[in-house]
């Protein structure tokens, strides 16, 4: 389980030099598993009370009405009782990467040819990506330009235990979830560290501020302002069962109205005016924020695809546009990791070097020497479907013996199906004792963490209006469920304790 990777990527775009970042573990977390039981009990109680008083709650999937009616059948969101330690230097590195990735996504989104070419083989085997590419093609044909572009992204990282490298897992350009809950967990942990200061001896000031929700709201409000129609609203595209609730501050702080619509409702109620204005019901739509639409499940019929196409044709600012959506796919991530590809989009050599440094090994399945190695040493690779799953814990990845068999089958069949996957270096993050809260119960276990950095990007025809990191999402899960860091497992919300 605790195997570390002895492995250096060979044929990927990563810089060869392994410049191990200096360790700075001056104030480590105490071993949470040897905590006084009474103290633990008090902390658990106070944390649960805190969660219900501060809205750190989600709909309980065990209660039927919880998804349909807000305010009923609620339970605290799963959370770690205490923050996870994380080296400050890596933290800074992750924050510095955010605006560079924002810029990269924006540049890639403008290169329609690159997107179409890179995904051309995927198109044949992945019906979902194929539909997205069709809409993208139509936009290219009609020469539709997105002049105001809004990206609310999240780049996910793990810290490789042996090399001490911060390695990117994936970049999400669509529905980067949990910004609200992640802020609350940071607040909860700060509150607990203050309350149990004497007993824990930890400094709440070492938990970085986390304003992702308010900064996402600010970005949406600024985008709305750029759209420049005071009567327009922000439309949030939701799944039929929407459990996570977003951006009440748009109305309260920025006086911007929001409406929520499912894709089916948008198809039913949406009209495109000749000037490009999208009307849904009585509302002109200024900005569209997708909380749905990132998975094939969100498109059960042609109706949903019509809605997506309708929105894309409109002048509304889409977060994300089809181009941004495609730029965040794993296939594009893998293409960008190839030598000399970043140089196609970025000029600044420092920026390019910084991005390369965080790239894990990433390969297409038509790289036969890598496939051969992965069959021989499956423990050092993970096979990922190209399709975005939204929640990286959703467990679509393939590991170990399953991966070996899948690769062998693909080799044998010689079909195009291998274009539906990429191979990635398997990362072995630090394992630490952790206390995981779910359903009111505290589980002691050994856990690993994944750090997501939220970032916002907004520009108009003339210039960049916003390009910054906005906060973070720390997710911690039981390490026995670790199949490379992004497998299904008992993941809880966490925060960062800088060491």
Element (H, E) at 312: helix 302-313
Shorter beta-carbon distance to a second copy: residue 51 or 329: 51
Q: Which of 18, 39, 49, 273 binds a second copy (CB under 8 A)?
A: 49
340 is in an annotated binding site: no
Residues 412-471 that bind a second copy (CB under 8 A): 439-441
CB 130 within 8 A of CB 298: no
Piece in contact with a second copy (CB under 8 A), picked from 100-108, 190-198, 333-341, 343-351? 190-198
Binding residue for a second copy, selected from 8, 18, 39, 72, defined by CB under 8 A: 72
Residue 388 annotated as lining a ligand binding site: yes
User: Is 73 a binder of a second copy (CB under 8 A)?
Assistant: yes
DSSP 316: S
Among 104, 245, 370, 427, binds a second copy (CB under 8 A): 245
Q: Which of 260, 253, 168 is nearest to 216 (CA)?
A: 253
Give the nearer residue to a second copy in terms of CB position, either 188 or 310: 188
Supply the minimum distance, in Å, between the C-beta of residue 190 and a second copy: 10
Find where tokens 């000037």 sit.
275
Contact between 208 and a second copy (CB under 8 A)? no
DSSP string covering 376-424: H-GGGEEEEESS--SSGGG---B-HHHHHHHHHHHHHH--GGGGGEEEE
Q: Rounded CA gap, 137 and 112, in Å?
A: 8
CA gap 110, 159 in Å, rounded? 31
For a second copy, the binding residue among 12, 43, 57, 435 (CB under 8 A) is 57
Look at the block and give the residue holding tokens 């809605």: 307
Q: How far is the CB of 25 from a second copy (least distance, A)?
A: 29
Element (H or E) spanning 186, and its range? helix 179-195
Q: Which long-range CB contacts under 8 A does 53-62 form with residues at least 24 apart?
A: 54/184, 54/187, 54/188, 55/180, 55/184, 56/181, 56/184, 56/185, 56/188, 58/181, 58/243, 58/244, 59/243, 61/243
Show contacts with a second copy in window 251-280 (CB under 8 A).
251-252
243 is in an annotated binding site: yes
Restricted to residues 312-331, the positions that interact with a second copy (CB under 8 A) are: none
Given 70, 230, 276, 296, the residue binding a second copy (CB under 8 A): 70
51 binds a second copy (CB under 8 A): yes
| Least distance (Å) between residue 448 CB and a second copy | 25
Q: Of 458, 452, 448, nearest to 485 (Cα)? A: 448
Choose one: 49-57, 153-161, 423-431, 449-457; the region binding a second copy (CB under 8 A).
Answer: 49-57
Nearest to a second copy of 46, 134 (CB atom): 46
Rounded (10°) CA dihedral 242, 243, 244, 249: 80
Residues near 230 by beta carbon (within 8 Å), at least 6 away in sequence: none
Contacting residue, 27, 33, 61, 65, with a second copy by CB under 8 A: 65
Distances (CA, A) of 378 to 123, 243, 370: 27, 37, 11
| Chosen residue from 26, 31, 53, 414 binding a second copy by CB under 8 A | 53
According to the binding rule CB under 8 A, does residue 334 interact with a second copy? no
Q: Residue 174 annotated as binding?
A: yes
Minimum distance, C-beta of residue 31 to a second copy, in the bound complex (Å): 24
* By CB under 8 A, residue 195 contacts a second copy: yes
**How far apart are CB 28 and a second copy at their closest, in Å?**
26
Q: Which one of 43-51, 386-394, 452-460, 463-471 is the stretch in contact with a second copy (CB under 8 A)?
A: 43-51
Q: Which is nearer to a second copy, 116 or 191 (CB)?
A: 191
- How many binding residues for a second copy (CB under 8 A)? 34
For position 191 contacting a second copy by CB under 8 A, the verdict is yes
The span of 187-195, 201-209, 225-233, 485-493 binding a second copy (CB under 8 A) equals 187-195
- Residue 146 forms beta bridges with which residues? none
Q: Which of 91, 165, 181, 151 is nearest to 326 (CA)?
A: 151
- Two tokens at 74? 């609620």
Residues 6+ apart with CB under 8 A from 85: 25, 28, 29, 432, 497, 498, 499
Residues belonging to the active site: 154, 170, 172, 177, 330, 384, 388-389, 475
Handedness of CA 61, 64, 69, 75 (dihedral sign): negative
| Shortest distance, position 278 Cβ to a second copy, whole Å | 20
Torsion, CA 106, CA 214, CA 180, CA 318, rounded to 10: -40
Residues of this chain that interact with a second copy (CB under 8 A) are 45-55, 57, 60, 63, 65, 69-76, 180, 191, 194-195, 245, 248, 251-252, 439-441
């Amino acid at each position: 389980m605790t195997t570390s990777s002895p492995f250096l990527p060979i044929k990927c775009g990563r810089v060869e030099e392994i410049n191990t970042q200096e360790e700075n573990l001056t104030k480590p977390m105490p071993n949470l598993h040897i905590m006084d039981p009474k103290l633990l009990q008090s902390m658990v109680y106070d944390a649960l009370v805190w969660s219900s008083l501060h809205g750190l709650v989600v709909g309980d999937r065990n209660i039927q009405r919880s998804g349909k009616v807000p305010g009923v059948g609620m339970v605290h969101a799963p959370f770690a009782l205490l923050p996870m330690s994380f080296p400050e230097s890596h933290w800074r590195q992750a924050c510095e990467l955010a605006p560079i990735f924002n810029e990269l996504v924006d540049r890639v989104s403008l290169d329609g040819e690159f997107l179409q070419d890179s995904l051309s083989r995927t198109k044949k085997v992945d019906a979902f990506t194929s539909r997205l590419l069709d809409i993208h093609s139509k936009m290219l044909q009609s020469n539709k330009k997105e002049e105001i572009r809004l990206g609310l992204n999240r780049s996910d990282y793990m810290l490789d235990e042996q090399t001490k490298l911060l390695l990117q897992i994936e970049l999400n350009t669509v529905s980067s979830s949990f910004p609200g809950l992640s802020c609350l967990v940071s607040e909860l942990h700060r509150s607990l560290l203050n309350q149990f200061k004497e007993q824990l001896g930890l400094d709440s000031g070492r938990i970085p501020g986390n304003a992702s929700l308010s900064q996402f709201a600010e970005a949406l409000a600024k985008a709305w302002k750029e759209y420049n129609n005071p009567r327009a609203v922000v439309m949030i595209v939701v799944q039929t069962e929407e459990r996570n609730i977003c951006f009440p501050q748009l109305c309260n702080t920025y006086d911007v109205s929001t409406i929520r619509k499912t894709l089916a409702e948008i198809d039913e109620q949406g009209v495109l005016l000749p000037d490009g204005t999208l009307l849904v019901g009585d509302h002109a739509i200024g900005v569209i924020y997708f909380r749905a639409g990132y998975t094939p499940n969100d498109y059960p019929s042609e109706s949903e695809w019509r809605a997506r196409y309708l929105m894309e044709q409109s002048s509304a600012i889409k977060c994300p546009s089809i181009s941004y959506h495609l730029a965040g796919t794993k296939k594009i991530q893998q293409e960008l990791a190839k030598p000399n590809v970043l140089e196609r989009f970025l000029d600044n050599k420092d920026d390019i070097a910084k991005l390369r440094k965080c790239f894990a090994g990433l390969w297409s399945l038509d790289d036969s020497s890598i496939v051969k190695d992965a069959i021989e040493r499956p423990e050092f690779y993970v096979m990922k479907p190209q399709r975005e799953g939204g929640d990286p814990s959703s467990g679509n990845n393939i590991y170990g013996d399953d991966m070996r068999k899948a690769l062998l089958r693909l080799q044998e069949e010689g079909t195009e199906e291998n274009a539906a996957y990429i191979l990635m270096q398997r990362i072995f993050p630090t394992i630490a004792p952790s206390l995981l809260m779910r359903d009111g119960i505290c589980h002691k276990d050994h856990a690993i963490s994944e750090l997501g950095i939220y970032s916002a990007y907004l520009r108009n025809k003339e210039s960049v209006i916003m390009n910054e990191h906005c906060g973070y999402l720390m997710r911690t899960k039981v390490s026995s469920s670790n199949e490379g860091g992004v497998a299904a497992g008992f993941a809880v919300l966490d925060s960062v304790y800088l060491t």
